[in-house]
Every structure is written in C-alpha cells, then in structure tokens.
Structure 1
C-alpha cells in the first residue's frame, strides 16, 4: 500500500562546524524518510532530538515514521509532542486522533477528531460521531467468529492466508534458510515471499522448502496471491523490478504490480505482467470472484477517492483484461481500502481505515441489493477486528471457516495469521396473528432468559412479524402482549440445535379480551366543533384507535356511521352539514386502512335526534349543544 507524502523542507545554514554536521544529519534522516526507509529514519531523527536540533520538526517526522510502520503505540507518543507545537499543520491533529484509536483510547480520539474539525480539517469526520453507539454495538453484539492460532506464524510477518485444493498459501517475511535475505527499508523486515503448506500439517517450522515452487518468488516483495478454481492460473503482487533491480517512480517509490503465472509440471512458470499495471502507481492484492470472470485489486492510481481504493477488471473469455473500474464511494473513502476478497456468494470483503472501525485497518463485508449493487458496508466486529491492523480476510466456500491477519498485541510476530470458525447467528422469527389468522401490528414481544430476566423487547411489524437474536444452547420464554388481547407466552430452546440452523420459527394467535360490540362502543362517538366538518385532534385519536381495532382486532366486523348536529340552524342546512360530517368520518377511517366495503352506510340525520331539549330551551350552554354535534359508529347486528 503506497501513501503519498508531502514533506517539509528544512534548510538551515550555519557557519559553525557543529551546526553543519547536524544539518547533514537532518538531511540524512530526510533522505531515508523520502526513500521510505522509515526504520532507519527513526534512529536518525532520535539522534537529532537527543542533540536538541530542530526538535519540533524531528518529532513530526518521527511520529509519521511510526505511523507508516503501523505502530500506533509509538506514533501516539510523538504525535502528542507534535500537536502542542505552534502552527502545527492541522493534519497532525487527525493523525494523532487515529493513533489514539489504534491503542484503543476512543474517548481521547474523539476529542482530537473534534479539535481537528474545529481547526478547519477538510476530511469528513462525521463517521466518528456515532462512536459511542458503534463501540457499544460492536462489543455487545453476539459473537459468531471464534479464533484459533495457526502453527506456522513466526516473529516476523505472515498474512494473506488462502486455502485452495487442500493447501494453505500465505505470504511471509520469514528467513527461510537462504544464504542472503534482502530487507525492506520501510520496516527493516525481509522482503515478502509466498509459501504453501498442506492443510492439517503439523510442521511448525515452515522454511525454504515450503516456498512456492517455480519463478513466482523474487528478491523483492512477492504476494499475496489468488488462484483460479481449476488451479492452473495464479495472480500475485510483486515489486516492480527488472533484472533484479528495483524500479522506482519519480518519488523513488518501489511500486507494486500484479502478475500472472501458469502451473506447468507442478511449478509456477510463464510469469507475465497484467496489462493495467503502470510504473507510476501501485496495483496489488489480487482477488478473483467466484466464477473467475472478475479480478479485484488495490490501487492508488489517479482518479480515486483517497489513498488506495478497491478496483476490479473484467477477465475476458480469451484471458485478456478489461479496463479498471473503481467500486465507488460506498466502498472507497478518502483514506485507504485494501486486501479485497470475494467469497462463494460473490460478497466482497476488504480492509479499510476510512470507515468507522475499532482502530487502524478493520475488515468489512459488503451488502448488495437485488441488482447486485453494493449499498452498504458492515464492520465484522470483534474478535475479527481489533484496535490494530486487521486485514487479508479469507473465507472458505462453506462460509464457516477462514483466515485473516492482524498485528494485535496477542500475536507472536509483526503480523500473524489467525484461523476462525464461524457459527452463524441464531434468531427467533415470530409471527403474531389474531384468531382469524390475520397479522397484528405493534404487538409487544418480550424475551426472557431461563432466569426470568428480560433480555429483549420488540414490536411486531405490519405483517405481524419480528426477529430476535438469541444465544445457542439456551432456554427462553417469549411473552406477547397487545391492548385488547389476552396475553400469551411460549417456551423456546436453542439447545441441541445444529450449527447450520439459523432460525427458530414461532407463531402466536391472540384472542380478543372482550366482545366486539362492547369494545368498539368505547370508541364509537366523536364530536365536531360548531358549524364545522373538520375532524379535530381529539376525534382523530379516537378514530385512530377505532381503525386499529377494525384492522387488527376485529378484521371481519362491519360498521355503520350516523352523524347528528345541534339544534341551531334550519333542518335543511343541518341535514347537509351532518351528511358532510358522516362523509368526513368515513373518509378518515378509509385513509387509515379500513376497507370501504366494511362501512355499510354513513348517514346524516341533521337535528332530528337530539339528546336533550335544546330545540325548545333558548339558553342551552355550549357543552349541551356539543353533546348533540356527535357522530356515532355502530357494529352491524349480523356481526
């Protein structure tokens, strides 16, 4: 992965020999930094700090060195000294916040992201605003990945584990017993080579004899890799070099390229460079889709969204490659996305430090719609992700096992490979119906554990359905409640259920608490304002309850609407007014989902059915008049 760096020039002229020597030391340190020899540069900058020469600048460079070496513990120490300097570039506030995430100090990290934004930082930090909710969700979600150590890790770096035809392929910087092992100036580790070991092998010492046979390993970086389903074609990353001489771009960066190899007599030969490579930028981390028609990869080519992005090319029937296509801003961010992998269901996984995560690089899965368009990305959570770098995800065809790499503290080396077993999450899928078999919306469903403690509470949707995640090998009680219905409950167990089962289905058929007519009568009368046909807020609430009863509790009941006015005004006018009120009531119930066929009639009676003597009493109060301005709903006797 390559990062473009804007360096600060520091040219100080002095006539003293001491100052001249120190300037030479600074130039040497910057030269090492410019060549991405960060390990050696750290020692050079530390010497300058010890000599008290240009300390502020040395602290900045030293912090960046550790950041590029993916060492947040040391980076945070020196970024802390940097951010208090006068006129420090605002980017260092962002870098400090990221390093704090890398060591798991999320509270301090949020503070410095806020400081970065207040100082005019341009990078979108909105993804960090939901940290509290995100961290709580990640750490409290039900675990489905369970980690296992592999026996072939070393004190150096191993990653890119890839299982194929009973073999485990991986990439490593280990000293494999060769006479001379070249080292990378980036982190002072040996260059990467690709290895293979039989799955289930008990050999903990994987040395030179386990290197992949053929011409795919060079004196520079080689790996990671991907292999076609038929096992005949390999794609792999390699440093750009010619005749064992590393080629660099105009910034003296040794870029990566993707190469293709063919299996000939059990050896990988016929190495050729892919057509979309370029000497001026990197392409690497190849990954094939399930049917081998697309090749995904990482690149920092111009025109992307940020540092490195995920791209893909179509592989044509004749083996030629199409043009690279960027996966877009749902996957790619202003930071770095890398290490794509596509599982047997063509779901893309990748690593990123630009999406909301637990620290540095986190592993994400993608969500696609019915058109196979990526619409969202999901953090895989713990224990796959940690506060450090987590990357090079691989999942076997059954989806229940795989590998990834991490430089987390629990490891034995720089980067270690971890195997995982995945037990799919188990959930209860409940359907809440009335006794006629129609769905009940907004029923309250309470989940109790074996000790009677509530562990979840949800509401049923418009189809009467809901889902609740549960633990395996546990006992539960489900209680269902709904106003005007008799409460119901059931015992559910997840014991002795095989790991492939993901859903336990339950169904409830609730019985109403009282007779239809009695219940509906409680919500059968609404009142109108004087000389008005608009339904007021109080009446709206009553009619909302009526609609809910008709739809969810008594779906077979039919009703009729009768509307009346007070005594004021002529018979003709009040007849028209009451008809309009009956019509308004009908329209409102229909707008709330009541089938029009269930309202058999809606009629206005004007002032002919008064409830008091206001037609003959000249001084009736407004309250007495309002009693007459009523609309009533009746259950038809045939119900």
Structure 2
C-alpha cells in the first residue's frame, strides 16, 4: 500500500531535512532508522552502485520497499540477501520474502519459503495458520467471484483510500491538493500528506467530483479513516499526534497516530478531542463502530500487541467514557499486520491482514463475531483481493454495496477507491462435510438406513443423518478444531462408534465404521439355520452322517447355543421323495438323531436338544413322488433344521 498510513509508523517524519545527496552508509542507516524510507532507499541504491555489498544494506532495502508495497523491488533485495555467504537469516525475512513472491504470483516458491519459515518458527501464528490451511489457494478460489467492482471517477493520481459513509456522503482520505513543498512531503515515501475529502453520488450513482470535508478536521497533519455515528453528528477519525494542528513528535522524531472524536453543531465540526486510550509511544488508528455504537474497534501497536499491529476494541460506556482496550486475540491477530477493521450491522468483522494466508500483500478477511468461540477466518477472494495491497473495506449488508481501496495495476493513482456490489454472500457458519460408509462387520456388506450421529467433545450431538441404500452418509458438521465421535446404530446390530479429529476446517470424507450384528435369543419357532444365515445342513443320498462341509454351519449353531444357554432346540430332519414313505421316515429320524448327537458331542446339554424326523412330508420344492427332478433339487430336500422350542 503506497499511500502511507496503513502501517502505523508510516507517518514518521524527521526532525531535520534529509540531504538527498547523502551517500554515506551511516547516513542511509539513520534515514532508515528514522523511517525516512524514500531517501534511505535512494542512498542504499547509490551505495550498491558504488560497490557496497553488505547484509545490512540488503535487509534494509528489502524492508524499506516491503513497507512501501514495492514488492517486486523488495523481492530483488531479499534474494540478494539470501545469496550472501555466511548469512544468518532471521525467519522474519523468510516470511516477508514469501509474501513478496505471492505478489509476483510465484505461489509455489512462496510456499517453499513458508515451509522454511514454519520449520524455523513453528509456534508463530502465521506458521500455524499456514500449516492448517495448505490448500489456501483453493479455499480463496472457492470464495472468489462474488463481487462486481468499479474504479471510482473521483480517484486522483495520488493516494485515495479509507472510504466511509455518512448520510449518503462518501468520505475518504487522499493525498491530492496538499501542496508539493518540502514541508508537506513526508519522507516515508515522498508523498504528500493526507486530508479528508467528501463526495456525493449523482443520479446515476456515480461519484464524479470531490471536495475537502472541513477545515476544522483537516490540519497540517495526516487525517484518515473516519467512522460516523448513524445520526452523522459524531465522527471518529485518525490523525497524527499533534499540538495546535501541527505535528507532535516523540524523542525519535516520530509522529504517532491517534484517534480523535468530533461533534457536528450547526454544520461545523467542533469539540475535537483525542481519545483517552491513545499514547505518545504507540499508534491507534482506523476506528469503526458496531451496530449499537457501544463498541469502538481500531488497530494499534500498543503494549500487548501480538504483531506489528493488532485489532482491539473498547466499550463505549453510557456516560461517554471508554473501557480499557481489549485485544481480539490470536484467532484474528498474528505477528504481522492486522488493520482497517470494519463491523457490519450483522456483527461481521472485515479486516486487512498480511498474516493470514492470502494472495499477496494485504488481503481483506472476514469473520463472524457471533461465533467468537470458534471463529472462521475467511479470505473474501478475488476480485476484492489481488496480488497487491487491498484494504479499508466497508460494506452495507442491506444494499449489498460497499467500497475498498487497492494499489493494484490499472488504477489511476498510488491507491484507488473501488465500489462493489456483492452478488453472493459468504457462509461464515463454518461447516465441513463428514462423509463415509457403514458396513456389516462380518460380511462387509453396506448397511442402508443406519442412523449416524456426530458428538463433539462436550458430548453434544452436532449433526445426524441416515445412510442411503449404498450404506453411505454425508453430514454437515462442525468445523471447530477438536476431537469428535461418530456413532452409528441399526436394528439388529450393536451400536458402533469411531473417533476422528477436525484440523483446519478440512472435510472428513473417508470415515468407515463396521457394526456387529446383535446376538439375541431368537423367538420360539425360529429356524436357526435361517436366523443365523448359514448354509443348510445337507445330507448325501440315503445317508445320515454329518458331512464335512456341514460342520462349518454346525459350528455357528453351536456358537449360538453356547451364547444363549437357555435356548432349547428341536432338530428336524427331512428326506427327498425317492424311496417309499415308511423308509424315508426312518431315514429322517436317523438324520435328526445324528445331527442332535453331533451337537451333544460338542458339549451342548442333552436336555436342550430333541429331534424328530419328518420323512418326505415337508418338501421345499415340487419334487414329490413320480416328479422327475435334478440331483440339485432333490439335495435341497435332504436337510436338517434347528427349531427353537424354548
């Protein structure tokens, strides 16, 4: 972002005029130390032309270009830094280099350096968020193409950004018409100081002309980032620390940012006062109000900040006083820059960051503050975000319209303001897909109409469903990181469960759970051969001994009888229709007795087993006397059954 103000020390000014011709390295270092990056860059480049090649020069050149959003230049100097021999590379340079590579659309190379950064600083929030979202480009793509954007006609050749709305009027910050004398140029980037301007749309809805907002608000300082109350009578805005409209500097010559408040009376802005939580040794900037106007959100590098700048809020008390600032925490803030917050009427927080995975430079992100215990941080995607800096996003959820600023190619100036219309909302309820199959443990068969439920760590059901005919299920689950339990139930099966974990809100699509059939005592009259789904006990023609192939089925009957010792069965045996009736009746009795004897020989109590022969009286098919049938059909009638009688 080449406009100056998004990084807090970006408004640093020097107590003495920099000699543009200074070439000595100590002077260049002093410029860099004093945040006079434009002359520092010039001096360093001349030193390199004169043959200097030092680690400190490449570091400072990379950083000076980085904070001024000259990412291509920053990449060049970081590359030369890494090529130096015997150089101990601070992981922060790895991170910044990875960011600059993104701005050149070198995402594969960027990810390689992010992996190096992650290995060097595994506990850094930026490393953690990268590791949890390795498919960040796919996620950004999924969130993209939801906006139509348009460059505003009121943009100038200078920096225009930080839009806000009040009573149908667009207010923004700009470096236009500030004069070009040396006292009105600050040396962060050799650009003019900022003033607040206003514009009103014409009948076609276009903004074609702009004018200064108010002399009372615009002083000989930077002014930007306004937030108006709904009635338009109070404004919070960002300004350099000042006294009587002039810069007030700290002992290092740095003028910090502060938030000021003003009220409107008879068309004039009066009672301009700075807020009590400002400080002379840190910056506070970019205010925004919640719907109820009971909280003021802002960005700051005050003590307690996690990174270069964090997002905070204060409560606005009924008497007009303010609570102590509260940091939004590491779910939102990282070790880099989180800034330009904006709160919608539905309590969604849009903010700018180069610490969360993005496309390059500063990107716009959103989270639902109603889900503060498990916030989903979403990159809102293209075309709002680009490989350059995209920031100061505001949005009216009712009209689906808004504005943002960007220094992308194709604009009119350093930073341009764009209007947009949202065509499709982004779901921030943080869901993932939990999918898989339920099977029979013994056979592997897919089980239809099994009930599937997912429990969270507090043993609460968060989602449930029923498997389809193919045994599959697909549920809309909770994306909060943690351990979960999937439980499946089905009639005639024991309940089964399986633990799984969600990481980085990724879909879980390969869950497989097998259920064991429930062993219950079958009701009286049940044929255990059918109940246990076993191959029938068949006999050879005119034989009564138990065949070897039948013993497999017999073992399952034995297992059932051992599991349910109260069950009594009657073995009922049958013959085919060949031979005469009285012979077949005797043969069936011998078969029944042989089957019962086998069960008893395997340890089943004799009193639990009875037997009876039925001859050819209960055939399973049409193969009665004088009917010609195949061997297979006759075989089907030579069988034993196990009927539960008690």
Q: If the length of structure 1 is used for normalisation, what is the TM-score?
A: 0.66
Question: 3-state DSSP class of the match of 1:418?
Answer: strand
1:337 matched to 2:338? The reply is yes
Question: 3-state DSSP class of the match of 1:608?
Answer: strand
Q: CA deviation at 1:177?
A: 6.8
Q: CA deviation at 1:282?
A: 0.5
Indicate if the aligned counterparts of 2:8 and 2:257 stay in contact, CA closer than 8 A.
no
Give the match for residue 128 of structure 2.
126
Question: 3-state DSSP class of the match of 1:398?
Answer: coil
Give the match for residue 616 of structure 1.
597
* 1:354-405 alpha-carbon deviations (Å, 9 max, x no partner): 11211121111112447x6562221111111112111111011415110111
1:82 matched to 2:81? The reply is yes
1:386 and 1:45, CA in 2 relative to 1: closer, same or farther beyond 3 A? Answer: same
Query: How many angstroms apart in 1 are the aligned matches of 2:407 and 2:121?
Result: 33
Q: CA deviation at 1:153?
A: 1.0
1:619 and 1:99, CA in 2 relative to 1: closer, same or farther beyond 3 A? Answer: same
Indicate if the aligned counterparts of 2:144 and 2:381 stay in contact, CA closer than 8 A.
no
1:192 and 1:464, CA in 2 relative to 1: closer, same or farther beyond 3 A? Answer: farther
* 1:272-291 alpha-carbon deviations (Å, 9 max, x no partner): 01111110111000001111
Question: 3-state DSSP class of the match of 2:221?
Answer: coil
Query: How many angstroms apart in 2 are the aligned matches of 1:32 and 1:179?
Result: 20
Indicate if the aligned counterparts of 1:225 and 1:234 stay in contact, CA closer than 8 A.
yes
Query: How many angstroms apart in 2 are the aligned matches of 1:631 and 1:278?
Result: 90
Give the match for residue 172 of structure 1.
174
1:482 matched to 2:482? The reply is no
Query: How many angstroms apart in 2 are the aligned matches of 1:482 and 1:138?
Result: 35
Indicate if the aligned counterparts of 1:440 and 1:462 stay in contact, CA closer than 8 A.
no
Which moves more between the two structures, 376-385 or 121-130?
121-130
Larger relative CO (CA 8 A, sep 6+): 1 or 2? 2
Alignment coverage as a number of residue pairs = 481
Query: How many angstroms apart in 1 are the aligned matches of 2:493 and 2:114?
Result: 58
Question: 3-state DSSP class of the match of 1:168?
Answer: strand
Give the match for residue 93 of structure 1.
94
Give the match for residue 405 of structure 1.
405
1:380 and 1:442, CA in 2 relative to 1: closer, same or farther beyond 3 A? Answer: farther
Give the match for residue 184 of structure 2.
182
Q: 1:508-587, aligned counterparts within 5 Å?
A: 541=515, 543=517, 578=560, 581=563
Query: How many angstroms apart in 1 are the aligned matches of 2:525 and 2:31?
Result: 89
Give the match for residue 587 of structure 2.
none
1:581 and 1:303, CA in 2 relative to 1: closer, same or farther beyond 3 A? Answer: same
Superposition RMSD on alpha carbons, in Å? 4.3
Q: CA deviation at 1:57?
A: 2.6
Question: 3-state DSSP class of the match of 1:297?
Answer: strand
* 1:64-118 alpha-carbon deviations (Å, 9 max, x no partner): 1101111111100111111122223323222211211222211001111223344
Give the match for residue 377 of structure 1.
377
Give the match for residue 18 of structure 1.
none
Give the match for residue 30 of structure 1.
29
* 1:26-81 alpha-carbon deviations (Å, 9 max, x no partner): 11111111111111111100111011124433222111110111111110011111
Gaps of 5+ in 2: 1-5, 11-20, 428-447, 453-462, 473-489, 495-512, 538-545, 547-555, 574-591, 604-638
Query: How many angstroms apart in 2 are the aligned matches of 1:540 and 1:276?
Result: 60
Query: How many angstroms apart in 2 are the aligned matches of 1:74 and 1:64?
Result: 10
Question: 3-state DSSP class of the match of 1:237?
Answer: strand
Query: How many angstroms apart in 2 are the aligned matches of 1:409 and 1:349?
Result: 23
Indicate if the aligned counterparts of 2:31 and 2:40 stay in contact, CA closer than 8 A.
yes
Give the match for residue 501 of structure 1.
none
* 1:316-359 alpha-carbon deviations (Å, 9 max, x no partner): 11212121111112111121111111111121111111112111
Q: If the length of structure 2 is used for normalisation, what is the TM-score?
A: 0.66
Q: 1:344-355, aligned counterparts within 5 Å?
A: 344-355=345-356
Query: How many angstroms apart in 1 are the aligned matches of 2:641 and 2:426?
Result: 56
Question: 3-state DSSP class of the match of 2:386?
Answer: coil
Indicate if the aligned counterparts of 1:309 and 1:338 stay in contact, CA closer than 8 A.
yes
Query: How many angstroms apart in 2 are the aligned matches of 1:67 and 1:158?
Result: 20
Question: 3-state DSSP class of the match of 1:277?
Answer: coil
Query: How many angstroms apart in 2 are the aligned matches of 1:402 and 1:562?
Result: 74
Indicate if the aligned counterparts of 1:310 and 1:327 stay in contact, CA closer than 8 A.
yes
Query: How many angstroms apart in 2 are the aligned matches of 1:48 and 1:142?
Result: 44
Query: How many angstroms apart in 2 are the aligned matches of 1:631 and 1:319?
Result: 86
1:275 matched to 2:276? The reply is yes
Query: How many angstroms apart in 2 are the aligned matches of 1:131 and 1:243?
Result: 49
Give the match for residue 72 of structure 1.
71
Question: 3-state DSSP class of the match of 2:28?
Answer: helix
1:143 and 1:579, CA in 2 relative to 1: closer, same or farther beyond 3 A? Answer: farther
1:72 and 1:83, CA in 2 relative to 1: closer, same or farther beyond 3 A? Answer: same
Query: How many angstroms apart in 2 are the aligned matches of 1:631 and 1:333?
Result: 72
Query: How many angstroms apart in 2 are the aligned matches of 1:259 and 1:630?
Result: 91
Query: How many angstroms apart in 2 are the aligned matches of 1:122 and 1:47?
Result: 39
Q: CA deviation at 1:163?
A: 1.8
Question: 3-state DSSP class of the match of 1:218?
Answer: coil
Q: CA deviation at 1:251?
A: 3.9
Indicate if the aligned counterparts of 2:7 and 2:67 stay in contact, CA closer than 8 A.
no
1:605 matched to 2:567? The reply is yes
Query: How many angstroms apart in 1 are the aligned matches of 2:80 and 2:344?
Result: 44
Give the match for residue 201 of structure 2.
199
Q: CA deviation at 1:170?
A: 0.7
